[in-house]
Structure 1
């Protein structure tokens, strides 16, 4: 009876993995960073990235009335960056390669900028449709061109992010599928190529999240 009672504390494995000490490991992640004596290097690195982005976005916005608006674009950068990075791991769904997510991020941002601009700065928005120094004969065409370029902005933001994510993953998948039919020497070359492609995709995931956040910041600065 006593053996059966204490057998619940015996080490056990589930899902063909040794998960005995997982609870102890998770406890370190649950402890808030404020209770650590010295911040971790990851925490310090992330703070440095956030402050650098804050200074750069503040210059791009160039509006003293909207000091806290950089937080929105830093959060957008972080969300896209984490999703791009997670998509590089095997068997993890790459959500940023689908238009459902990218349009969900781009369309409400663009719509809010347009509503704010046309409501609060109507004269400025009309003046923005005609660049300075445009000849009188070309003004109707410039208004049409500027209106079309303004309307397609959320689409270009969404397509740019998803297309770049899809292109790299497709190339890695196509190269990886040819592995079983190659010789040993070619397989070694294929592995080196895949490692280089993985490094390139890591850089692309950072660059695309930065480009998305910077373009969103520039679009917001136009309506202020």
Structure 2
């Protein structure tokens, strides 16, 4: 029984006392047919084209930091988030990307490794980055504080943005779905159409949020050089 509306997103799913909260992360790998890995199908060709487009974009954003294979990290990050977002669109499947424990686990190590690399290898540049060019001398201490805080909260903003967007759409679908039993047949037909449109929107949000997370991670990495 739900204690409140947001308890829908609590990681408490279990069968026979076995926790299956994160099964949606691995379920897709179990249902993909073996032929997908060996024979070039239309879906695999489409996915390869998407990867090539992402590779070119990430390569441009990384600039001089672009070494051979450096875009693989961000393409893998995009693929992982997109896969989990899509799995969350199925009914009664726990959306792992709606929980801060997963989104923070993705954002924090990335941000920490970028900061560690930048401060160890490009210390002078990192100090210079705290004061934007053209800042008056009187405002420099304030700009250092502002830039430091903005750098520190970056993993939090990445994690919250992804989790909040995934929660918001599912929450709206749940709210509308709970009104169904009290409606007549005419209003239920309108509700179904609305739910289908919202599900289409959630499909787009799943792609956009995966892309935004990967792009922002790429931009953060390009700033440490």
Q: Tell me the CA shift for residue 30 of structure 1.
A: 2.6
Which deviates further from its counterpart, 158-167 or 60-69?
60-69
8 Å CA contact retained: 1:118, 1:125: yes
Gaps of 5+ in 2: 1-29
CA distance change for structure 1 residues 145 and 179 in 2, over 3 Å: closer, same or farther?
same
* Match in the other structure for 1:94: 95
Q: Over the residues paired in the alignment, what is the CA RMSD in angstroms? A: 1.6
* Match in the other structure for 1:206: 207
8 Å CA contact retained: 1:58, 1:67: no
CA distance change for structure 1 residues 27 and 129 in 2, over 3 Å: closer, same or farther?
closer
Q: Tell me the CA shift for residue 193 of structure 1.
A: 0.4
Q: Tell me the CA shift for residue 69 of structure 1.
A: 1.2
Q: Tell me the CA shift for residue 31 of structure 1.
A: 4.4
Matches of 1:73 and 1:28 in 2, distance apart? Answer: 23
Q: Tell me the CA shift for residue 64 of structure 1.
A: 5.6
Instruction: Provide the secondary structure at the position in 2 that maps to 1:29.
Output: coil
CA distance change for structure 1 residues 64 and 130 in 2, over 3 Å: closer, same or farther?
closer
Instruction: Provide the secondary structure at the position in 1 that maps to 2:64.
Output: coil
* Match in the other structure for 1:180: 181
The CA deviation string for residues 91-125 of structure 1, in whole angstroms up to 9 with x for no partner, is 11100000000000000000000000000000000
CA distance change for structure 1 residues 100 and 181 in 2, over 3 Å: closer, same or farther?
same
Return the index of the structure with the highest Cα Rg. Answer: 1
CA distance change for structure 1 residues 178 and 152 in 2, over 3 Å: closer, same or farther?
same
The CA deviation string for residues 51-89 of structure 1, in whole angstroms up to 9 with x for no partner, is 000000000000265231110000000000000000000
Instruction: Provide the secondary structure at the position in 1 that maps to 2:133.
Output: coil
* Match in the other structure for 1:80: 81
TM-score by length of structure 1 reads 0.85
The CA deviation string for residues 3-59 of structure 1, in whole angstroms up to 9 with x for no partner, is xxxxxxxxxxxxxxxxxxxxxxx999234644x3xx100010000000000000000
* Match in the other structure for 2:33: 29
* Match in the other structure for 1:221: 222
CA distance change for structure 1 residues 46 and 215 in 2, over 3 Å: closer, same or farther?
same
TM-score by length of structure 2 reads 0.84
